[in-house]
A = this chain, B = another copy of it.
């Protein structure tokens, strides 16, 4: 209720955020966020899994953490260990897995545990906005690692680390999304993984490996995770937001016990939501491989539609970073275009996208880039939305010169 007798405004702390606006619904052309395809939620199988696991183990809901300790539901930790062994080359067991309340909680805890204000963290030059923001909020110095179509350029990183050391700085951490990099969609090849680990060992840098998208790969495979290749120096996280559903807030971390045990001590949320955990475990223990393969196929098909639409509408004006998996595509307009000028006109037409500057360590240098997510939108929405974006871009910047929507 809005009541004004008490002047709350004079009582908020200095660090209080601005008020959030009232939620007014989602835009029609929604190309942002980690949403998935509503048609691909396996509602019937999830309903059955939910009923089965609650009938069998529901009594344990009476205890915090289901009475099995702060690392999370045992059935889910068993599934995570099995999945990571089969798909990511990781050898662990339920005692080596910590369930987190979304992978965001993992990022919060790992960054706070290992990075002091003023310390240096290296991120891929184009990078997940949530990670950039979290490291900056901690007061870290955030530096960009150069990437190409295969991910981190190891030669450039070697030179960068040597130059930093010569100037007196050794970074504390390398945060990387090696498998379906966000936003470029690349998969780091095996030789680069070994190269990255060798540099980390040489300089004594912790590697923070975020594999949120590694369950959704077109070809079905990727080199082993960095953690699998060197468990001593890598902290690994993953999520069920992309492989199943983002409204579920369940992720996981795998790391040396010295790290995991402190993350457990930092996890003051009373445990991760138990029904989310139990139902994911029950469903995925039986259906993970089939579900991930089917969903990847659906997403690859939507991406094909998006690529086709982008090529049709933007022609050669748009450079596409075709992803090898995941739910988004990174792209670049000519240097003359600042995509930030497209945000307001697009919003006015009910279309939202991620401007490059939000997804890059050096925002200004990414002003001609943007990211379009294709998980939520239908094929028709993708076709119509990309056409609309091209039309707006043409109206604002003259590019693309020959828009399919504009008779020249």
Binding site for B on A (CB under 8 A): 1-9, 11-23, 26, 33-41, 43-44, 46-48, 50-52, 54-55, 58-71, 91-92, 95-96, 101-102, 104-105, 112-116, 172, 201, 204, 206, 231-233, 241, 244-250, 256-259, 261-262, 264-266, 268-276, 279, 375-376
Contact = CB atoms under 8 A, between A and B. Distances in A.
Looking at A6, A19, A64, A271, the one whose CB has the most chain B CB atoms below 10 A away is: A6
22 contacts: A1-B257, A2-B256, A3-B256, A11-B114, A13-B112, A13-B113, A16-B113, A19-B257, A20-B261, A35-B67, A36-B62, A43-B55, A43-B58, A46-B61, A47-B55, A102-B269, A104-B269, A246-B270, A249-B273, A250-B273, A273-B273, A276-B276
B257 A62 contact: no
- Give the 10 A-B residue pairs with the shortest CB-CB distance, closest first: A23-B69, A273-B273, A43-B58, A247-B274, A5-B232, A19-B261, A61-B245, A50-B50, A17-B265, A20-B264
A341 to B, nearest CB: 26
B58 A23 contact: no
B61 A41 contact: yes
A13 B70 CA distance: 22
Given A1-B231, A8-B256, A61-B248, 16 more contacts: A1-B92, A3-B232, A3-B256, A6-B204, A7-B204, A20-B265, A22-B261, A43-B54, A47-B58, A50-B54, A61-B245, A61-B246, A61-B247, A63-B376, A248-B274, A249-B273
Please indicate which of the listed interface residues A1, A4, A18, A258 has the most CB atoms of chain B within 10 Å of its own CB.
A1
B44 A55 contact: yes
Main secondary structure of the interface of A (DSSP, over half): loop
Interface centre among A35, A63, A105 (most CB of B within 10 A): A63
Contacts of A113: 12-13, 16
A258 B62 contact: no
A379 to B, nearest CB: 16
A63 B26 contact: yes
Contacts of A105: 269
Given A18-B265, A20-B264, A61-B245, A51 B55 contact: no
Nearest to A235: B8
A270 B249 contact: yes
Nearest to A26: B67
A62 B50 contact: no
